[in-house]
Amino acid sequence: MSFENMGLEPEFLRALEERGYTEPTPIQKEAIPVALEGRDLVGSAQTGTGKTAAFLLPILQRLGGGKRGKTRALILVPTRELAEQVLNSARAYGKFSKLKYAAVYGGVGMEPQTRALKSGVDIVVATPGRFLDHMGRGHVDSTKLEVLVLDEADRMLDMGFAHDVNKILDSLPVERQTLFFSATISADVDRLARRALNDHAAVEIGHRTEAAEGIEHVLVAVDKTEKRGVLAKKLEEMPHGRTLVFTRTKYGADKLARHLRKEGANVTAIHGGKTQASRNKALDRFKKGKVRVLVATDVAARGIDVDNIAMVVNYDVPRDPEIYVHRVGRTARAGARGVALTLMSPDESMMMWGVEKFMGRTFHRHVVPGFEPAVAPVQPREIKPVRRAGRGLGSRRGGARRR
Ligand code: AMP
């Protein structure tokens, strides 16, 4: 399946060619034909799988020339960073179409957004709270809405947007196409999906908890005090490619960055305690390859869109298995390969087991010579893989299946 034989019009093929995309990613192969048929879908896909193009291309094609002065597609996203990213992607993929777009999100003034909305945009990318604000003030007319996208639905729920999203759903035309994406599909996400979608026609794509293929998961058992030593050594062994290191706390992020710098690594840290300007600067340096290692907390890393991350490091085992999937999804994007290194101290072994149960697989506990933990790690029993019909994400055999 190539972009050409998916039924995309030449203007989009041209835009894709300009972006240098030669082959669709697995989720694009599955989602684009389904969405082009006008059907609803639930996609289990994290950042890095190419999901943005998977929903944008069919929408752009469906809306065609635009210019009806009413909002015809609404894309709900959890954060302003993601809103900006989706808007930029829409501009890129829709380069040769005449559609108008706007992004609306909180934390900035209403006025420019109001002006944009009132000028009549075809596609609105929005965070739920700010969209409701505009709706309440009559700045958007969504009575002619044709397509709704919920992107990173799990994150929207995590961030407390359930109420806002439900309110938006209640106000939209029932006859519409809904495309629903979430990295993970918990019971709450499933409930939201059922509410948002025309259940009978929805096609489900992607495996529910599988992180992108192409990721090599490396689990190292090590005492807490030795973690930074192991990390410095791993960075030395892998001198090429960008590395994103996650720590649980801001304090931990700074301290670790300082230590790694002393060990000679080219490193910077971003976290919620820094100003937006300094975060942007650090991110920019990382993107441009001026720093190779970025230490970040989960909150600060939200919405980071950097390709070619060779290694993601869980300096602490995440408390929530879904966070593990999110974090490691930053590497091995768009078919590339990547390493997910997790440093596990003895007190974190239960949390790691939680991650493994969630992923449906166990990881071998490695020890690094010179950094052996005081108590040798215990290898848990194998988890029998549950085979689902039509498994998807990244799978060559993966086919769409009906719910
Ligand atoms: P996303 O998962 O939508 O955030 O996309 C992840 C990254 O992959 C983005 O930087 C896209 O520009 C890139 N990408 C999306 N589709 C393709 C493709 N078919 N070929 C190469 N890169 C792609």
The reported pLDDT for the residue numbered 383 is: 66
- Atom of ligand 1 at shortest range from CA of 24: 19
Q: How far is the CA of 307 from the centre of ligand 1 (A)?
A: 9
Helices 349-359, 321-328: inter-axial angle, 10-degree rounding: 70
The reported pLDDT for the residue numbered 172 is: 95
Return the DSSP state at 370. T
The reported pLDDT for the residue numbered 398 is: 34
Pairing, β 203-205 against β 401-402: antiparallel
Give the Cα separation of 51 and 334 in Å (integer). Answer: 10
Give the Cα separation of 356 and 350 in Å (integer). Answer: 10
Query: In this predicted model, what pLDDT tens digit does every residue of 117-135 receive, in sequence order?
Result: 999 899 999 999 999 999 9
Residues of the chain with confidence (pLDDT) below 50: 208-210, 385-403
Q: How far is the CA of 384 from the centre of ligand 1 (A)?
A: 32
The reported pLDDT for the residue numbered 399 is: 37
The reported pLDDT for the residue numbered 275 is: 76
The reported pLDDT for the residue numbered 46 is: 73
The reported pLDDT for the residue numbered 395 is: 32
Ligand 1 pocket, residue 18 CB under 6 Å: no
- Atom of ligand 1 at shortest range from CA of 23: 19
- Atom of ligand 1 at shortest range from CA of 49: 2
Ligand 1 pocket, residue 49 CB under 6 Å: yes
**End-to-end Cα, the chain, rounded Å:** 23
Ligand 1 pocket, residue 29 CB under 6 Å: no
The reported pLDDT for the residue numbered 334 is: 59
All structural domains of the chain? 4-205 (3.40.50.300), 215-366 (3.40.50.300)
Return the DSSP state at 74. E
Query: In this predicted model, what pLDDT tens digit does every residue of 67-117 receive, in sequence order?
Result: 677 899 999 999 999 999 999 999 999 988 889 999 999 999 999 999 999
Radius of gyration of the CA atoms of the chain, in A: 22
Which stretches does DSSP call E strand in 105-241? 123-126, 147-150, 177-182, 203-205, 215-221
Give the Cα separation of 39 and 162 in Å (integer). Answer: 24
Helices 111-118, 128-136: inter-axial angle, 10-degree rounding: 70
* Residue pair 360/391 in contact by the 8 Å Cβ criterion: no
